[in-house]
Amino acid sequence: MSIIYFLIGCSVLLALAFLSAFFWAQNSGQNDDLYTPSVRILLDEDNDIEQK
Partner 1 sequence: MKQSATLEKTTCYHCGDECLTKAYTIEEKHFCCHGCESVYHILSQNNLCSYYNYNDHPGATRNRTDKRFAYLNEPSILSSLLDYSDGQISIVTLYIPHIHCSSCLWLLEQLNKINPAIHYCRVDFLKKQLNIRFDHQKLSLQGLVEILYDIGYEPLISLHDIIKEQNTTNADKLVQKIAVAGFCFGNVMLLSFPEYFGLSVYEQTFKHFFGWLNILFALPVVFYSGKDYFISAWQNLKAKVLSIDFPLALGIAVLFLRTVAEVLTGTGAGFADTLCGLVFFLLVGKFVQKKTYHHLSFERDYRSFFPVAVHLINGNQEQPIPLSQLNTGHRIIIRNNEIIPADAILLKGEALVDFSFVTGETLPVTKVLGEIIYAGGRQTGYAIEMEVIKPVSQSYLTQLWNNEAFKRHKDTRIQTFNQRVSKYFTIVLLAIAIGSLLFWLPTSVTRGLSAFTAVLIVACPCALALSTPFTMAAALSVFDKNLFYLKNTSVVEQMAGIDTIVFDKTGTITTRENTQVQVPPNLTDEQKQLIYSACINSAHPLSAMICRELAGVKKHVPTLYFEIAGKGILATINGHKLRIGNSAFVLNQTEVNADVTKVYVMVDEHYLGYFALLHQYRGGLNIISQLKQAYQTYLLSGDRDHERNALQTFFVEPGHMLFNKSPQDKLDFIDLLQQQGKKVMMIGDGVNDSGALQQSNLGIAITDNVNNFTPGSDAILDGKSFDKLPAFMRFSKDAVNIIHLSFLISVTYNVIGLSYAVTGMLSPLTAAILMPVSTATIISFTSIATHFAAKKRKLK
Rg (alpha carbons) of the chain, rounded to whole number? 22
Furthest-apart CA pair in the chain: how many Å? 71
Is residue 23 close enough to count as binding partner 1 by CB under 8 A?
A: yes
Q: Does 28 bind partner 1 (CB under 8 A)?
A: no
Tell which one of 7, 10, 14, 22 touches partner 1 (CB under 8 A). Answer: 22
Distance CA 14, CA 21 (A): 11
Residue 41 phi/psi, 5° resolution? -70, -20
Binding site for partner 1 (CB under 8 A): 1, 4-5, 8, 12, 15, 19, 22-23, 26-27, 31-33, 35-36, 39-40, 42-44, 47, 49, 51-52
